[in-house]
Chains A and B, each alone.
Chain A
Amino acid sequence: MSTTEIERQWTTRLRHRVAAKLPPEKLLPDTQPTYVSSWIYVFGVTTLAALVVVIATGCLLAIRGPQWWHESDIGHFVNSLHLWSVEIFFFAMVIHLWGKFFMAAWRGGRALTWMTGVVTFVVSILTAFTGYVSQTNFDSQWISTQAKDGINATGGGAFFNVLNLGQMLMWHIVLLPIGAVALTVLHVLLVRVKGVVPPFASTNEVES
C-alpha cells in the first residue's frame, strides 16, 4: 500500500482532523491562562464530578431493580446517595450556567459550547423528572398524576406517558442518561477545543 493510499484512508483523514482540532496538549492541558482563577470555575468540574456519582449510584440501584430500595436499608441508603448527588449536580450546574452567562461564555466562536450546555441542562431536568416518577412510591404517584396534565396539554402525553412506569424507567436509566452523557462529553470537548473564554476587553477591530 502506498503512502498516498494510506493518506487517503478515512481513518487517516479522521485522525489528522481530530489531531488538528484537539491535540493532546489541548485535550489535557497542563497550563491555563492566568485569568482562569476564580471560584466560579469550580462549579463546572463539580458538575462533572457529581454526574459521575449520580451515574455510579444509579448503576448500584439498577443492579437489584426498582423495588430494592424500598425493602433494604442498604438499598435505601444507595437511593439517598443517588438523590443527594443529583441535588449537588443541579446546584453546581445552575451556578455554572449563570456564571457562564455573566462571563458571556459564547464569545469567540463558543456559541455551540453554550448551546450544548443549555441542552444538557434541559436533558438533565428530563432525566431527573423521569427518575422522580419512577420511584414507585407516593411521590412518583403524585408527581406523575400532576405532570400528566402539562404534558398531555402539549400533545406530548400521547407518546410520553408519565403514568407508564416501564416507559419512564427506560427513559430514566437508558435513553436520557445516554443523551446527557453524550452532550456532556461534546460540551467538554468543545471547551477544550476553544479554550476558556477570556475576560471582556474591547479592541478596535478583529481580524477575519
Chain B
Amino acid sequence: MTKKAFRPDVDAPRWTGGHTPYDIAKEGTIALLVVAILTIALATVFGSPDVPAVTIKRWSNTTPVDFAMTALSELSATSGSALYGAPYNHNAVGQQLGPLQLAKWVGVRIPINAVNDFVINPLESLPNQGALATDLQQWKQASTSQRNGWIADYTKAAAHLSFKSGNVVVTAANAGPVPVLINDLTQMARSGALDQNLVSHSGFYTTDYTLPLLFIADGSYLANLADLQHLKGTQWGMMNETGSYPGQAWLWLYTFWYQVPPFSQSGNADVLVWGFMMALTALLLLIPFIPGLRSIPRWSRVYRLIWSEHYRGLQPASGQGTRPSADRPATSRATGDITRPEA
C-alpha cells in the first residue's frame, strides 16, 4: 500500500461518524411548495414591468427632427451602424483585445449597408412614388463626389432643420435630391410603413429585428428614454430593467467593470470587459486545481460558521483536552468525528 500526504484543500477526510434520518423527497416537496408560494406572493405584490416597445412610427411622430437627423446620418453613412465594422460592414476595425482583432477576423456575417438598407431601399418600396422616383433615380445615377456634395450642403443647412406642417424644413438649395429623400423617409416613418419595411425585407414571415433596432439605436430617442429609466451603461444599465425591479442583478460584476478605469476610459471597453470576465469565469471554474485560490476557504474559516453545529459537537468537555480544528483533528467517534481520509 502506498501512502501520500493529505492535502487539506484537495482531499476530503472520510466520514466515520454518525448519520441522521433525512427525507429527501419530503424536503424537495416542501421546498417546491415554499418557492411556489413565495413566487406567487412576489408576482401578486410586485408584478412585472412591461413598457411598450418603441416603434419608428412613434419615434418619428414624437421627435421628427431627431428622426430626420438620424435618417441623414444613415444616408451620409456617418451613423453608428454605418461606421460600426464587423459583423455589419467593413467601415471600422472594431475593438481590439491587445493585438487580437476578434470581430474583424470573424468578418462581416450580417451585412448592412446603411444608405441602401435604411433609406434607399425602403423609399423604393413605396407605391405611387411620383417625384420621389425621379429623386431616387438622380441619387442612384450620381457619382460619389456628387452625392457627397449634396450631403455636405444638406448637413450644413441641417443645423437649422425643423419640422413644420408635417414636413421636414431645410433650406439647402444645392442638396440635390437629399431634401426629398429625407422628408419622404420621415413621412414613411410617421405612417408606420418603415417599421414594417425594415422587418419584411426577407419575406412575409420574419422574426429578425436587426435592421429596425439598429436604426432606432442610431437615434437619440431610445437612449433618452433609457436615461429617464436609469438604464444607461453609466447607470449600471445592463443589469437593470424599467421600473424598480431587480433586473439581472447577477450581472453586477460584468456591469461593474464598465464603471471603473481602465475599462471606463477605453475605446475597447467591451472586448476588455468580456475578456476579463472570461478569465474570471475560468478561474472560478478551475479553482479546485489552482493552488492558493483553492486554499481561501480554509484560510477564511467561514466553514466554521457553516458547520458550526458540527464543530460544536467536536468540542471536548471542559478539561478534557484541546479543541479540535482543521489543523488538529479530533479522534472521538462518539461525536461524529472524522478519523480517516477519503481515498
Within 8 A of B (CB), among A21-66: 28-38, 40, 42, 45-46, 48-50, 52-53, 57
Q: Is the CB of B54 within 8 A of A141?
A: yes
CB-defined contacts of B76 to chain A, threshold 8 Å: none
CB-defined contacts of B34 to chain A, threshold 8 Å: 46, 49
Q: Is the CB of A145 within 8 A of B222?
A: yes
Instruction: Point out the residue from A101, A152, A205 that lies within 8 Å of B3, measured CB to CB.
Output: A205
- Give complex CA distance A192, B51 in Å: 44
Q: Is the CB of B298 within 8 A of A158?
A: no
Q: Is B142 part of the binding interface, using a Cβ–Cβ cutoff of 8 Å?
A: no
Q: Is the CB of A28 within 8 A of B43?
A: no
Instruction: Point out the residue from A70, A129, A141 that lies within 8 Å of B248, measured CB to CB.
Output: A129
Q: Is the CB of A161 within 8 A of B110?
A: yes
CB-defined contacts of A142 to chain B, threshold 8 Å: 222, 225-226, 231, 237
| Stretch of A12-20, A118-126, A174-182 with 4 or more beta carbons under 8 angstroms from chain B | A118-126
Most A CB atoms within 10 A — which of B24, B39, B238, B330?
B39
With known contacts A31-B22, A80-B48, A90-B249, A101–B287 Cβ distance under 8 A: yes
Instruction: Output the nearest chain A residue to B284 by Cβ-Cβ distance.
Output: A118
CB-defined contacts of A42 to chain B, threshold 8 Å: 31
With known contacts A45-B31, A114-B288, A201-B329, A104–B297 Cβ distance under 8 A: yes
Instruction: Output the nearest chain B residue to A146 by Cβ-Cβ distance.
Output: B238
Q: Is B279 part of the binding interface, using a Cβ–Cβ cutoff of 8 Å?
A: no
Instruction: Output the nearest chain B residue to A116 by Cβ-Cβ distance.
Output: B285
Q: Is the CB of A164 within 8 A of B207?
A: yes
Instruction: Output the nearest chain A residue to B233 by Cβ-Cβ distance.
Output: A146
CB-defined contacts of B292 to chain A, threshold 8 Å: none
Q: Is B160 part of the binding interface, using a Cβ–Cβ cutoff of 8 Å?
A: no
Q: Is A6 part of the binding interface, using a Cβ–Cβ cutoff of 8 Å?
A: no
- Give complex CA distance A87, B54 in Å: 26
- Give complex CA distance A118, B289 in Å: 14
- Give complex CA distance A76, B302 in Å: 42
With known contacts A49-B34, A79-B50, A201-B324, A101–B297 Cβ distance under 8 A: yes
Q: Is the CB of B28 within 8 A of A29?
A: no
Q: Is the CB of B326 within 8 A of A202?
A: yes
How far is the CB of A184 from the nearest CB of chain B, in Å?
Answer: 13
Within 8 A of A (CB), among B1-43: 1-15, 17-25, 27-28, 31-32, 34-36, 38-40, 42-43
How far is the CB of B343 from the nearest CB of chain A, in Å?
Answer: 5
Q: Is the CB of A200 within 8 A of B110?
A: no
Q: Is the CB of A80 within 8 A of B43?
A: yes
- The contact string, 1 if C-beta is below 8 Å from chain A, for chain B 232-251, is 01000110011001101111
- The contact string, 1 if C-beta is below 8 Å from chain B, for chain A 101-140, is 1111011111100110011001001001100100111111
Instruction: Output the nearest chain B residue to A31 by Cβ-Cβ distance.
Output: B19
How far is the CB of B98 from the nearest CB of chain A, in Å?
Answer: 13
CB-defined contacts of B329 to chain A, threshold 8 Å: 201-203
Q: Is the CB of B307 within 8 A of A35?
A: yes
Q: Is B106 part of the binding interface, using a Cβ–Cβ cutoff of 8 Å?
A: yes
Q: Is the CB of A94 within 8 A of B250?
A: yes
Q: Is the CB of A103 within 8 A of B31?
A: no
CB-defined contacts of A164 to chain B, threshold 8 Å: 207-210
Q: Is A149 part of the binding interface, using a Cβ–Cβ cutoff of 8 Å?
A: yes
Q: Is the CB of A198 within 8 A of B338?
A: yes
Q: Is the CB of B102 within 8 A of A153?
A: yes
With known contacts A141-B53, A203-B341, A206-B4, A108–B12 Cβ distance under 8 A: yes
How far is the CB of B287 from the nearest CB of chain A, in Å?
Answer: 7
Within 8 A of A (CB), among B50-83: 50-54
Instruction: Output the nearest chain B residue to A196 by Cβ-Cβ distance.
Output: B15
CB-defined contacts of A154 to chain B, threshold 8 Å: 102-103, 270-271, 274-275
Instruction: Point out the residue from A103, A141, A204 that lies within 8 Å of B303, measured CB to CB.
Output: A103
Query: Shortest 10 CB-CB distances between A and B: which pairs?
Result: A108-B12, A166-B207, A106-B288, A158-B109, A80-B43, A155-B106, A153-B270, A153-B271, A200-B326, A138-B51
A-B contact pairs, 19 of them (CB 8 A): A34-B19, A37-B20, A77-B44, A80-B43, A80-B48, A83-B245, A102-B306, A110-B288, A132-B241, A136-B53, A139-B241, A142-B225, A143-B238, A158-B107, A164-B210, A166-B207, A198-B342, A205-B4, A206-B343
